[in-house]
Amino acid sequence: MSETSEKNQKKVVVYGASGYTGRLVCEYLREYGVPFVAAGRSAERLQESMDGHVAGIETADYEVVEVTHDVESLTDLFRGASVVLNTVGPFSKWGPQVVEACLATGAHYTDTTGEQDWLMTCDETYGADFAAAGLLLAPGIAHMYTTGEIAAQLCLEKPGLDTLDIAVFWGGSPTIASTQTILVNAATSAAHYLEQNAYVPFDPGQGLLPLVVPGQHELALSLPWGGTSHPVWFKRDPRVASCKAQGGVFNAALMNGVPQIVAAALEATKDMNEEDRDAALTATAAQVMNTMPPRENPRLNKSLDSVHASGPLGRAHCVIHGNQNYKQTGLLQAYAAYSLLQQPPLRVGFASGCQAFGHRELLGVLRAFGLVAEPVLTVEG
């Protein structure tokens, strides 16, 4: 494969394609028959990842491109592309250059973030410019946010519900990049929920919160997990006034260790400048998780999204059982590109996956690939 991009040949760029999630995005682009550019900082690492970790790559139409992370270089790479799928985080640090390059070249932008401060930045800083250009700006298309949003949107099909209580759980453990993002996000921004259309910060000393999880007797441990994407998306939904999301892994021992790891990292870096702090947090993340997780196993890597929606005179509850949350993310990203190549999104500017493509459409995609079960929806009142 070529290490230099031929302009206007491939309409989809996967930026950060050598990472755990990026590989899965490429895998599903292959399944959709979408040609793509696998881009990142190292052509050698990219090619190694494609050859060794992307199932069926020998039948994919792709090329590898090495690029430095600055607006000028990314603009040159994206010229001629229609869609950029970004997996390079922490997004609050590395995202602005990618978004600005997309805007400069007229490319739709999606990413896999759950960093609430980055979503707010996308909404408030870039959303209007993308809308004016007729482009989609859709951060946070990933299992941990989109699958839960699908459940919320199914509940909201009943009129008169204005409050969302969201829980997201998954099996397995975070990747290297996810662990680093968790620490950086905790060090640089507060987590918020939505209450009567206003952002309210979570109590930073809240700690682990036990949650009732449908389908099991044991309580699960949860954290605000940065506040998640949901309060930002639903702040612009006239049906919703309040939205709170919690999440975590099913592994209780791992969950019990997260607050201590985060607290120790924040204490150790509180007096550092930004550069030294980021380096120290990256080193801490490597100590917690320094290897790529194994390819997911549907018998082990299960997911659960539960949403209680309520209003003055009604309630709804939706549960979506699934598996392989990283595969869900890869598929959702690939479908976003596949759809955008053929038709405009339902909404331009800042939008969630469901707002851009339709929640029932995305549910159908996940169901078609065997990654989620039929939702269990209960409506009262």
Provide the pLDDT for residue 268: 76
134 secondary structure, DSSP code: T
Residues in Cβ contact with 36 at an 8 Å cutoff, skipping those fewer than 6 apart: 10, 12, 13, 14, 26, 29, 60, 61, 62, 337
Question: What pLDDT was estimated at residue 261?
Answer: 74
Q: What's the pLDDT at 381?
A: 78
Pairing of strands 108-111, 220-222: unpaired
- Supply the pLDDT for residue 262: 73
- For residue 314, CA distances in Å to 157, 164, 166, 376 come to 12, 12, 17, 17
**Per-residue pLDDT, 351:** 98
Whole-number pLDDT of residue 320: 98
> Across-strand partners of 200?
193
Q: Over the range 186-197, which residues count as b (16 or more CB within 10 Å of their CB) and which as e?
A: bbbbbbbbbeee
Question: Residue 256 corresponds to which amino acid?
Answer: N
How far is residue 225 from each of residues 138, 178, 221, 255, 354, measured CA to CA in Å?
Answer: 20, 11, 12, 11, 21
pLDDT of residue 8: 43
What pLDDT does residue 214 have? 94
Q: Which helix (H) or strand (E) holds 325?
A: helix 325-340
DSSP state of 294: P
pTM: 0.92
Among residues 34, 33, 95, 42, the alpha carbon closest in space to that of 65 is found at 42
DSSP 3-state assignment of 139? coil
Q: Quick one: pLDDT at residue 289? A: 57
pLDDT at 1: 42
Q: Which residues of 69-90 are buried (b: 16+ CB within 10 A; e: fewer)?
A: eeeeebbebbebbbbbbbbbbb
Per-residue pLDDT in tens (0 to 9) along the chain, 381 residues = 444 444 446 899 999 999 999 999 999 999 999 999 999 999 999 999 999 999 999 999 999 999 999 999 999 999 999 999 999 999 999 999 999 999 999 999 999 999 999 999 999 999 999 999 999 999 999 999 999 999 999 999 999 999 999 999 998 766 666 666 665 655 556 899 999 999 999 998 888 999 999 999 999 999 998 899 999 999 999 999 999 999 998 988 888 887 777 777 777 777 777 777 766 766 666 555 556 788 999 999 999 999 999 999 999 999 999 999 999 999 999 999 999 999 999 999 999 999 999 999 999 999 999 999 999 999 997
Look at residue 69 and give its three-state secondary structure. coil
